[in-house]
Amino acid sequence: RAAAMSLQDIKRSPTFLVGTQQQKGILDEFHRQEQHFTEEYQKNKPLCFSARAYQQTHPAKVRMGYKDADATLTSPMLLGVCDGVSQLEEFNMDPSLLPNELLRTCEELAMMQLMPDMPVSPQDAYRGPISLLKEAYEASESYGSTTVLLAALDNSTRIHGKLHPMIAVLSIGDCELLMLRRTNGRQSDLEAVFHTEMQRIDYNVQTPLQLARVDGRIDEDFDESIALEVIEKGSAVHCVSAYEGDILILGSDGVFDNLFLDEIVEICNEILGPSGQKEFTPMPPSQLSQVAQRIVKDSHAKSDAKNGHFLDTPIGKGGKVDDTSVVVAEIVEWTEAHREIWSQVRRNKKWSSVLSCGVPCAGVPCYAACQAESDDDRRAGAKSRGGGDNSSQYSDSDEDDRPACAIA
């Protein structure tokens, strides 16, 4: 009987017609909910990142003598985090070389391809994050293996003829990105609106998908074509709309294995409260630095026993003892001051050592030639590209002691 049941015997759940007046009411409600986004959208203006980074080797790994192989990138149109494989030290390789070279090369390409209102030749045109990373890998020479997370801000996208900036997120491995937004108006709390997921082999916290270049000492079967295939086929790519005031958190697995998303959101709301003004006001860079440092500090605290008890984490009690790197960025308007400064940097080809120093310059963060790659800084352990804070180099109280700006 059951087998012979016909389609006529199955009760059909109909789709009901929505009347004109009801649809108008729904559209009015949508308009009220999205009004502050629509206002930003109608301004038809390019955007950029205002970002700070912070990274720190876990104290337990320092005691064991492990090298920090993380690298971060903060530049106006491209953010990045790479988490190098420290195990390569066992083969007398420096695991930090490939992550740093990859991000440095990505930064140079982004300066050529993504800067608003700057002429770009057809061969240098931006073709998406996969092409950018592939080109950076092919231009690099360092050996190593690393996870990769990039966020590229593309100001060329348009909807109905109006500028509508988009962020392309590329992930290989277990670094993650979290986007926050004040969805209920400028004076509301930040809420999570987008989050990437980790790529791990067999769900093992120690075996993320990764981008590598190694020799026969490590893998006799390695060929660079495999690495290019990882970029082309293994990259997780997402595109999301960008609005002024959005907050992005990019972190290594040391962040997202130890902190729940709501803990990160709570930190951001505690430090990055609403401005109290009707018009959007960018956050001071010092507050972005404070968020980054707090996230790293709280991540490390999760793996320390409290009164003999370990705290809950996304991967279980006690979390993961790991180097931790984070980039905290706010999306702000790309202004004439930005344009003048970066045009000069681009002409002089100084972008391979550029940072956002956080010093007010013509009303915006001043982007200047960075001295952070001096021998002294390398001895101090600074690995952050484009404005990252070293694990002990800066604190909230020494914000005024940062290098002076000098475009040269």
Q: Where are the domains of the chain?
A: 47-332
CA–CA separation, 57 and 62 (whole Å): 6
CA–CA separation, 170 and 60 (whole Å): 31
Predicted pLDDT at 13: 65
Walk along the chain (408 residues) in steps of 10 and give the mean pLDDT of each run: 57 76 80 61 82 88 79 96 92 94 96 86 91 98 96 92 93 96 90 92 75 90 93 96 96 94 98 88 96 95 77 83 92 90 71 40 38 35 45 35 31
**Beta-carbon neighbour count of residue 7 at 10 Å?**
6
Q: List the one residue out of 389, 381, 321 whose CA is nearest residue 61.
A: 321
Chain centre distance of CA 211: 17
CA–CA separation, 102 and 252 (whole Å): 16
Sign of CA dihedral 386, 390, 395, 399: negative
**Beta-carbon neighbour count of residue 101 at 10 Å?**
22
Cβ burial, residue 261 (10 Å; 0-12/13-18/19+): middle
Predicted pLDDT at 340: 84
- Reported CATH class of domain 47-332: alpha beta
Predicted pLDDT at 404: 32
Q: What is this structure's pTM?
A: 0.80
Cβ burial, residue 347 (10 Å; 0-12/13-18/19+): exposed
Q: Token pair for residue 311?
A: 């705290």
Reduced to 3 DSSP states, what percent helix, strand and coil does the chain have, rounded to the nearest 5? 35, 25, 40
Predicted pLDDT at 365: 40
352 close to 36: Cβ distance less than 8 angstroms: no
Predicted pLDDT at 7: 55
Q: Token pair for residue 44?
A: 């038809």
CA angle, 185 then 74 then 149, to 5°: 90
Q: Token pair for residue 64?
A: 């064991």
Which residues neighbour 400 within 8 Å (Cβ) at sequence distance 6 or greater?
A: none
**Beta-carbon neighbour count of residue 343 at 10 Å?**
13
378 close to 390: Cβ distance less than 8 angstroms: no
Chain centre distance of CA 147: 13
Predicted pLDDT at 2: 53
Identity of residue 355:
L
